[in-house]
């Protein structure tokens, strides 16, 4: 009997879809991924990660649950995962799979955990070869798994798009040809004036850098560098003769803020630059039965949809009551569209809101260190970059969306038997209590160097 399909899962950290050439970005940042997905694949053009940042994003993609189902909304999540929350690798293990997670921490349910050296780097330490470090561990593990009698799931957490953006040569200048030290350019002045992060930025920005576009180009270069390294893994699938029987997944835990909304080179806030992520699945053994080439899907998709979709592709049934949908059923009209959704953020601010195709409402649950207004409303059709807050102009829309949000919260609280986690994760900031003013938040929250950033992103292995 032929083995069930393998899963090669690229769970890339901090990759926003609108910076990928796969999604029409004008710079050729993902040529190898683009080519790989040109046949036997499905690409979702409206994929979102509703709960920012890392911890809730990965919890949702590997459980098929929303933030109410995982009870996880905060980066500094406390208390572990819910004991009855069964992850994708745990289900696969029960169904005869070998499962490996390559990370520098762990996610629940994998049979095997391998670390790799994530050299975050600083300007003084030099450029980071994160993806090459991952390949040094991933290639031998892929060879080992391919030689086993069992099918496998191999999960790879790439960190290249995560700050600090320090791609090696020649990628650091692939998308920039200007003078990053131009004394007449003052675009980085407000970045260096932002007290909570200025020390961190100073550790990895070039000492005389003045141009924000240079830093943005480093993010693009990091994606292109990662793309080239990923191509080596994809070529290995072919070399091992398992490409046709391997489902390959590309997604991310959240997007990234570059020079957007005064949030600067991080991934906090609920603006779309943080919510937008890729989702693409190549399934040679399945897609070619239904269509040729690459199918682009316009229906909305979310992290919670990934696990039920993959299990459906594998023909594995489970008694888990997923919050997510099988996206193949959505494509066929057998499952509902979900164009409106609840959003949360508990990284450096604690907020929640409601997004529709036309509107986005954001409500602060405590003062934030950017001194943003408590209520923000954006018309996504007229103002897709979300710079014109129209909350005061359209109070009736604020009230309508707020009521929708509260109704959704009440429904999910009743279904889970728990209070919404955005209300209960009060130590999200590591300070022990909510902030009472923006001044307090501004003077308390601080990240000083890459080591601090790395520690915040570490996810310990939990059973």
Q: What is the pLDDT of residues 160-194, one digit of tens each?
A: 999 999 999 999 999 999 999 999 999 999 999 99
CATH of the domain at 350: 3.30.1120.10
Q: Are residues 278 and 366 in the same domain?
A: no
Instruction: Tell whether 354 and 220 lie within a shared domain.
Output: no
Instruction: Check which CATH number belongs to the domain holding 195 and give it.
Output: 3.40.720.10
For the chain, give the mean pLDDT.
93
Residue 98 has pLDDT above 80, yes or no: yes
Residues of the chain with pLDDT > 70, as a percent, come to 95
Q: Let me know if residue 449 belongs to a domain.
A: no
Whole-structure pTM value: 0.95
CA 178 vs CA 40, 190, 191, 209: distances in Å: 40, 20, 19, 11
98 and 197 share one domain: yes
Tell me the average pLDDT across 16-39: 97
Q: What is the pLDDT of residue 383?
A: 98
Poorest-pLDDT segment among 41-55, 244-258, 282-296, 391-405: 282-296
pLDDT digits (tens, 9 = 90+) for 314-353: 999 999 999 999 999 999 999 999 999 999 999 999 999 9
455 found inside a domain? no
For residues 462 and 9, the model is more confident at 9
Question: Per the structure, how many domains does the chain have?
Answer: 2
Say if 454 falls within a structural domain.
no
Task: Give me the pLDDT at residue 4, please.
Answer: 92
The reply to whether 167 and 296 lie within a common domain is: yes
Beta-ladder partners of 97:
none
Residues 142, 285 share a domain: yes
User: Is the Cβ–Cβ distance between 257 and 265 less than 8 Å?
Assistant: yes
Q: Would you say residue 291 has pLDDT above 90?
A: no
In order, the DSSP letters of 219-240 are HHHHHHHHHHHHHHHHHHHHHH
Across the range 288-313, mean pLDDT stands at: 92
The domain boundary, picked from 322, 338, 354, lies at 338
Q: What is the per-residue pLDDT for 290?
A: 73
For residues 273 and 302, is the Cβ–Cβ distance under 8 A? no
Q: Does 331 share its domain with 438? A: no
Instruction: For residue 276, give its domain range.
Output: 6-338
pLDDT-derived band at 463 (thresholds 50, 70, 90) equals very low
Question: How high is the pLDDT of residue 461?
Answer: 45
């Amino acid at each position: 009997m032929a083995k069930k399909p393998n899963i090669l899962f690229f769970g890339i950290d901090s990759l926003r879809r609108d910076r990928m050439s796969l999604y029409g970005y004008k710079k050729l940042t993902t040529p190898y991924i683009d080519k790989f997905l040109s046949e036997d694949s499905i690409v979702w053009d409206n994929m979102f990660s509703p709960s920012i940042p890392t911890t809730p994003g990965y919890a949702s993609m590997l459980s098929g649950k929303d933030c109410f189902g995982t009870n996880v909304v905060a980066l500094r999540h406390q208390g572990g995962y819910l004991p009855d929350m069964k992850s994708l690798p745990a289900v696969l293990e029960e169904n005869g799979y070998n499962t490996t997670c390559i990370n520098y921490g762990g996610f629940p349910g994998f049979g095997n955990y391998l670390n790799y050296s994530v050299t975050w780097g600083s300007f003084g330490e030099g450029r980071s070869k994160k993806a090459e470090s991952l390949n040094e561990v991933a290639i031998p593990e892929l060879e080992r798994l391919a030689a086993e009698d069992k099918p496998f799931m191999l999960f790879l957490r790439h960190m290249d798009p995560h700050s600090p953006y320090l791609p090696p040569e020649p990628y650091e200048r692939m998308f920039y040809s200007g003078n990053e030290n131009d004394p007449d350019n003052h675009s980085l002045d407000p970045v260096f004036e932002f007290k909570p992060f200025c020390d961190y930025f100073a550790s990895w920005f070039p000492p005389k850098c003045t141009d924000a576009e240079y830093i943005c180009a480093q993010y693009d270069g990091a994606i292109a560098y990662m793309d080239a390294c990923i191509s080596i893994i994809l070529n290995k699938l072919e070399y091992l003769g398992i490409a046709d029987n391997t489902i390959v997944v590309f997604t991310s835990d959240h997007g990234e803020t570059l020079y957007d909304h005064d949030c600067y080179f991080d991934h906090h806030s609920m603006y779309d630059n943080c919510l937008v992520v890729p989702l693409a699945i190549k399934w040679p053994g399945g897609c070619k039965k239904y269509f040729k080439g690459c199918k682009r899907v316009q229906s909305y998709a979310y992290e919670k949809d990934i696990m039920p979709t993959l299990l459906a592709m594998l023909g594995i049934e489970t008694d888990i009551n997923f919050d997510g949908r099988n996206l193949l059923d959505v494509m066929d009209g057998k499952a509902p569209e979900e164009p409106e959704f609840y959003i949360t953020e508990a990284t450096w601010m604690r907020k929640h809101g409601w997004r529709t195709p036309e509107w986005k409402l954001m409500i602060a649950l405590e003062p934030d260190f950017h001194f943003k207004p408590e209520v923000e409303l954006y018309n996504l059709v007229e103002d897709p970059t979300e710079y014109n807050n129209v909350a005061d102009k359209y109070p009736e829309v604020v009230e309508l969306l707020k009521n929708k949000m509260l109704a959704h919260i009440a429904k999910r609280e009743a279904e889970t038997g728990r209070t919404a986690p955005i209300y209960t994760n009060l130590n999200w900031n590591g300070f022990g209590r909510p902030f009472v003013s923006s001044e307090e938040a501004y003077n308390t929250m601080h990240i000083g160097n890459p080591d601090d950033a790395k520690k915040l992103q570490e996810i310990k292995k939990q059973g």
